[in-house]
Amino acid sequence: MNLWVFDLDGTLITSGIDYARAVFHWELMFINRMEHRAPHYDKFVPDFLGLLRESEKELFKTMRAHRKRFPTSMVEAYRGLCRNFGMSVDPEIERETWEIGVSALSEETYRNRGMLPGAEEALAFLQERGDLIYCVTAGDPVVQWMKWRGYNLRRFFPSQREYRVIWWDKLRTLKKLRKLHRDKAAIMVGDSIGSDLIPAAKAGYLPIYIPHPSVWDHGELEKEPPPGSRRFLQITQIVSEYQSLIRPTG
């Protein structure tokens, strides 16, 4: 029996495209509302994206993964756009902007979309082996539990014992789980060097790095996976390389 810890976003599920969809919805709403007064797309689209990016970066420092961060950024970007074009802020557009921002986080969307290709297969394989599987995910608990319900993650992580939501640093939780299962081989799988692999290595896990093809993050500070890490292109390599991964670690 071995100990496996998985990251959620970008490792087992995709979350970035919901923000992309919200941005496109916003642009459509904006031109519909502005109609004759709408600035040329060549000007307002890049402006809006630039302002949104700036605001996301700034708010991330204080709000981290809070569910209100993205809608707040969208409203700020809209206000910035009004400043750039000398337009007054329209309260109706502002209200709709907030709602579109909120819509990026939707349990219904999660329900209608499967997990990343191979994720269910890999988790089911480990389950059949009788290995212990945990998910340690950083984010807003309200949103992460929406994902748990939407993607039906209880199949693999039945309760808050196996599904751990934390606000930021994973190290403490990883250490705790490692201590609970001292005698087992421990492996941690994630798509972020800084928030998954480095704490995993520190806590005595074999880190497995599976970079996501579309990354929505705020600039990885760490560029190199810790020494001894494995790097996979697909999560199903857990199945094909299983024997080489379950050697005892730290």
Candidates 2, 6, 7, 143: give the one binding Mg ion (CB under 5 A).
7
The SS3 of residue 9 is strand
56 binds Mg ion (CB under 5 A): no
Nearer Cβ to Mg ion, position 10 or 71? 10
Cβ closest to Mg ion, residue 15 vs residue 97: 15
CA dist list (Å): 175 to 94, 132, 178, 182: 44, 15, 5, 10
Whichever of 55 and 192 has its CB closer to Mg ion, that residue is 192
Binding mask 168-197 for Mg ion (x = CB under 5 A): -----------------------xx-----
Closest-approach residue to Mg ion (CB): 10
140 binds Mg ion (CB under 5 A): no
Q: How far is the CB of 214 from Mg ion (least distance, A)?
A: 12
User: Which residues are CB-contacts of 217 (< 8 A; sequence separation ≥ 6)?
Assistant: 192
Q: Does 9 bind Mg ion (CB under 5 A)?
A: yes
The distance of closest approach from Cβ of residue 164 to Mg ion in the complex, given in angstroms and rounded to an integer, is: 14
Q: Give me the least distance between CB of 139 and Mg ion, in Å please.
A: 9
What is the signed CA dihedral for 142, 77, 104, 236, rounded to 10 degrees? Answer: -90
Please report how close the Cβ of residue 5 comes to Mg ion at its closest, in angstroms. Answer: 12
DSSP 208-240: EE---SS--SS--S--SPPTT-EE-SSTTHHHH
Per DSSP bridges, beta strands 132-138 and 163-166 are parallel
| Distance between CA atoms of residues 80 and 76, nearest Å | 6
Q: Where on the chain is the footprint of Mg ion (CB under 5 A)? A: 7, 9-10, 191-192
